Amino acid sequence: MLIAGHRRIRPAPALAGAAAALLAAAVIAVSLGAVRLSLGEVAGGLLDAGDDTTRRIVWQLRVPRVLAAALVGAHLGLAGALLQGVTRNPLADPHILGFSSGAGFVAVALVVWAPGSPGALAPAGAFAGSLLSAAVVYALAWRGGISPVRFALSGVAVAALFTALSAAAISLSDLFTQAALSFLVGGLIGVGWDHLPRIAPYTAAGALAAVGLARSLNVLALGDDVARGLGMRVERVRLAAVAAAAALTGAAVAISGILAFVGLVAPHAARLLVGGDYRLVLPLSGLLGAALLVLADTAARTAWAPTEIPAGIVTAIVGAPVLLLLIRTRT
Partner 1 sequence: MSGPLLQLDGVRWSPRGHEVLRGITISVEAGELVALIGPTGSGKSTLRRILGRLLRPSAGRVRLGGRDAWSLAPGEVARRVAFLPQSPEASPDLTVAELVWHGRYPHHRGLARSFGGARPADRAAVESALHQAGVAELRAARLGELSGGEQRRAWIALVLAQEAELLLLDEPTAFLDIGHQLELLALLRRLHEERGTTTVMALHDLAYAGSHATRVVALSGGQVAADGPPGRVLTSEQLSALYGVPVTVLPGPAGAAGLPIVVPRSAAPGPDRGPGARPPGG
For partner 1, which is the closer residue by CB, 147 or 218? 218
Provide the residue count of the chain.
331
Of residues 214 through 243, those in contact with partner 1 by CB under 8 A are: 214-216, 218-219, 221-223, 225-226, 228-233
**Contact present, 261 and 296 (Cβ < 8 Å):** no
Closer of 119 and 223 to partner 1 (Cβ): 223
- To partner 1, the closest distance from the beta carbon of 195 in angstroms equals 31
Shortest approach of partner 1 to residue 319 CB, angstroms? Answer: 24
Window 196-215: residues binding partner 1 (CB under 8 A): 211-215
Number of residues that bind partner 1 (CB under 8 A): 25
DSSP string covering 204-270? HHHHHHHHHHHHHHHHHTT-HHHHHHTT--HHHHHHHHHHHHHHHHHHHHHHH----SHHHHHHHHH
Residue among 15 and 181 whose Cβ is closer to partner 1: 15
Cis geometry, peptide bond prior to residue 123 (ω within 30 degrees of 0): no
| Helix count and strand count (H, E) for the chain | 14, 0
3 binds partner 1 (CB under 8 A): no
Residue 195 or 271 having the CB closest to partner 1: 271
Closest CA to 88 of 244, 216, 212, 258: 216
CB of 279 to partner 1, least distance (A): 6
Quick check: 180 and 169 in contact, CB under 8 A? yes
Our CB check for partner 1 shows the closer of 36 and 143 to be 143
Q: CA-based diameter of the chain, in Å?
A: 65
Nearest-angstrom CA–CA distance, 212 and 210: 5
DSSP annotation of 62 = I
**Binding residues among 116-145 for partner 1 as defined by CB under 8 A:** none
Interaction mask 256-285, partner 1, x per CB under 8 A? -------------------xxx-x------
Cβ distance to partner 1 smaller for residue 134 or 237: 237
- Interacting residues with partner 1 (CB under 8 A): 5-6, 211-216, 218-219, 221-223, 225-226, 228-233, 275-277, 279
